[in-house]
């Protein structure tokens, strides 16, 4: 039997980005501000005072970037739509130039044989909606459903794969509990309410899709396996709390119509009673789950680390990325097997996977040598192949990210792209990892 790796015949190979991280021109042509426009322009929130005002200038360079995707041989491109570019006030009037940008992008992709995979919300909430409570206002489920309907009716004749939200956990944890991401709240009572309304909005949009849509829709979640740092009961419990908080908090309501029991233990007096009817809305049938995987956490009990009372323990012999994440491909295979076993082997896409390493400058001859990123991709793609062989229904993979881009509060200091961006000149240069990925796609994984 050949040891050569081969992915399933129709396995989909892509790359991912998000609107605020690459587009620039956040207020051009009638676009309204998002909370990231406000957060980035509030001093101290983003390293070096970086903002998404220009980013990768993709709003003006999308044709060039689609040509890059073609050069790499991408079969799919996962991108997000800026809600406030399309609906400047978040509700009501549609900005024809704004929605036209995405209409044209979809046509450009299809003309190159690249499948658009659209995420409706990747953290950039319209500022006007945040001013009305944003994810803390139960009405946002209707606001999001109305926006989703506009996008479905405009693009579902050409877009065949939709995701409602990107990583509701990060929005709740970073935006409302820890304040590290927009809108920058630091409130343990707000975080579960925001998470719950994100799930309600997700369900409301899926309900609309079942009325008007003809293709597939799912939810994208970040999953991070939690391994107890020791055999102690305290560390085992800490890992279980961390697992419920990051991994079960969103998938259990979607698949089972209930939160993990441990959520009460995590939030204590900040954990509300939820209306039963909310879970009927949340648990809409999905066509896939998008899994964003980056790292694992070896977890120990830490009573002072509220509210989860768990912290990650650095692994002395491991390789770490520039964002401080351990390179641990086994965590991806463990996570995918956990999802398959717990939720009935749903169709999965790996919608994000990648790493920021310190990349050297563009060398003579226009090469960017990034061997650590190639090694990262090789290890993680092999881990995916391993679980596909065991029957886990992984349908595709999107590398994070197509382009070096604005890494949220890290600014431009952390480079995840397989394509280097010179932010002073906007010159794009394929890194060695892009050439590697081109071979992976061309051989459907056989080069791994
Ligand atoms: O950090 C890399 C990417 C980021 O650029 C994407 O916009 C976002 O979807 C994304 N999610 C993760 C994984 N989750 C996470 C955990 C803690 C803080 C921030 C993100 C990594 N990434």
Q: For the chain, give the percent of residues with pLDDT over 70.
A: 100
Question: Cβ(190) to ligand 1 under 6 A?
Answer: no
- In the block, residue with structure tokens 């060398």: 363
pLDDT for 231 equals 98
Q: What is the mean pLDDT of residues 372-377?
A: 98
Please check the confidence at residue 114 and state whether its pLDDT lies above 90.
yes
Question: Cβ(405) to ligand 1 under 6 A?
Answer: no
Catalytic residues: 167, 352
pLDDT for 66 equals 99
Q: How many CB atoms lie within 10 A of CB 179?
A: 14
Closest residue CA from atom 20 of ligand 1: 170
Q: Ligand 1: distance of its center to the CA of 93 in Å?
A: 31
Q: Do 404 and 48 contact (CB within 8 A), yes or no?
A: no
Pull the structure tokens for residue 402.
């197509």
356 CA: nearest ligand 1 atom? 2
| ipTM tops the 0.90 cut | yes
pLDDT for 245 equals 98
Pull the structure tokens for residue 64.
């060039």
Mean pLDDT over the full length of the chain: 98
Q: What is the mean pLDDT of residues 274-287?
A: 98
323 CA: nearest ligand 1 atom? 1
pLDDT for 101 equals 99
Please check the confidence at residue 299 and state whether its pLDDT lies above 80.
yes
Mutation choice for ligand 1 from 119, 167, 332, CB with most ligand atoms inside 8 A: 167
pLDDT for 364 equals 87
Please check the confidence at residue 2 and state whether its pLDDT lies above 70.
no
Q: How many CB atoms lie within 10 A of CB 447?
A: 16
250-286 in b/e burial notation, b at 16+ Cβ within 10 A?
Answer: bbbbbbeeebbebbebbbeebbeebeeebbebbbbeb
């Amino acid at each position: 039997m050949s040891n050569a790796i081969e992915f399933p015949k129709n396995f989909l190979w892509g790359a991912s980005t998000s609107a605020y991280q690459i587009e620039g021109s956040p207020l051009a042509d009638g676009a309204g501000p998002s909370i990231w426009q406000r957060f980035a322009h509030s001093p101290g929130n983003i390293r070096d005072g970086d903002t998404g005002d220009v980013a990768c200038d993709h709003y003006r360079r999308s044709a060039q970037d689609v040509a890059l995707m073609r050069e790499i041989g991408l079969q799919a491109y996962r991108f997000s739509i800026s809600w406030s570019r399309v609906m400047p006030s978040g509700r009501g009037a549609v900005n024809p130039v704004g929605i036209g940008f995405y209409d044209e992008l979809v046509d450009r992709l299809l003309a190159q044989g690249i499948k658009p995979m659209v995420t409706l919300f990747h953290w950039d909430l319209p500022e006007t909606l945040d001013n009305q409570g944003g994810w803390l206002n139960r009405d946002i489920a209707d606001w999001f459903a109305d926006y989703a309907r506009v996008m479905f009716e405009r693009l579902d004749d050409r877009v065949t794969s939709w995701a409602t939200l990107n990583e509701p956990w990060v929005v709740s944890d970073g935006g409302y509990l820890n304040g590290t991401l927009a809108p920058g709240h630091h409130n343990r009572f707000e975080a579960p309410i925001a998470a719950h309304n994100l799930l309600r909005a997700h369900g409301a949009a899926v309900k609309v899709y079942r009325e008007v849509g003809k293709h597939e829709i799912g939810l994208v979640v970040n999953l991070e396996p939690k391994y107890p740092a020791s055999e102690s009961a305290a560390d085992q419990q800490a890992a279980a709390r961390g697992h419920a908080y990051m991994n079960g908090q969103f998938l259990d309501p979607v698949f089972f119509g209930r939160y993990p029991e441990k959520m009460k233990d995590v939030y204590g007096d900040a954990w509300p009673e939820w209306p039963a009817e909310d879970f009927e809305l949340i648990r809409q049938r999905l066509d896939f789950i998008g899994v964003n995987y980056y790292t694992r956490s070896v977890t120990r009990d830490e009573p002072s680390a509220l509210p989860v009372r768990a912290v990650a323990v650095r692994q002395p012999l491991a390789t770490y990325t520039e964002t401080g994440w351990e390179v641990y491909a086994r965590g991806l295979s463990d996570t995918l097997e956990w999802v398959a076993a717990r939720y009935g082997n749903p169709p999965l896409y790996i919608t994000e996977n990648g790493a920021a390493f310190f990349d050297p400058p563009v060398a003579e001859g226009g090469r960017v040598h990034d061997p650590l990123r190639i090694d990262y991709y090789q290890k993680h793609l092999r881990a995916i192949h391993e679980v596909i062989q065991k029957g886990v229904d992984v349908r595709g993979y999107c590398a994070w990210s197509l382009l070096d881009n604005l890494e949220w509060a890290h600014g431009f200091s952390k480079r995840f792209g397989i394509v280097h961006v010179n932010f002073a000149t906007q010159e794009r240069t394929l890194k060695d990892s892009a050439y590697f990925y081109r071979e992976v796609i061309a051989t459907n994984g056989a080069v791994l």
